[in-house]
Amino acid sequence: MIPDFSRKYTQANFIARRLIANFYADINLLLKNLDIENARELACGPGFSTEYLVKMRPDLLWSASDIEAELVAQTKNRNPQVSVSQESIYRINSPDNNFDLVIALEVLEHLEKPTEALTELKRVTKKYCLISVPREPLWRMLNMSRGRYLSDWGNTPGHINHWSINKFEKLVSPYFKIIAKKQPLPWTILLLEKNP
Full DSSP string of 6-39: THHHHS--HHHHHHHHHHHHHHHHHHTT---SEE
Q: State in words which class domain 7-194 has.
A: alpha beta
Asked if the peptide bond before residue 137 counts as cis, ω within 30 degrees of 0, the response is yes
24: left (phi over 0), alpha (psi -120 to 50) or beta: alpha
Average pLDDT over all residues of the chain: 93
Q: Which residues pair with 187 in a beta bridge?
A: 134
* Lowest-pLDDT range of 43-47, 92-96, 138-142, 181-185: 138-142
Domain regions of the chain by residue span: 7-194
Does the pLDDT of residue 184 top 90, yes or no?
yes
Digit-coded pLDDT (tens) for 99-138: 999 999 999 999 999 999 999 999 999 999 999 999 999 8
Mean pLDDT score, 152-177: 94
Average pLDDT over residues 65-71: 97
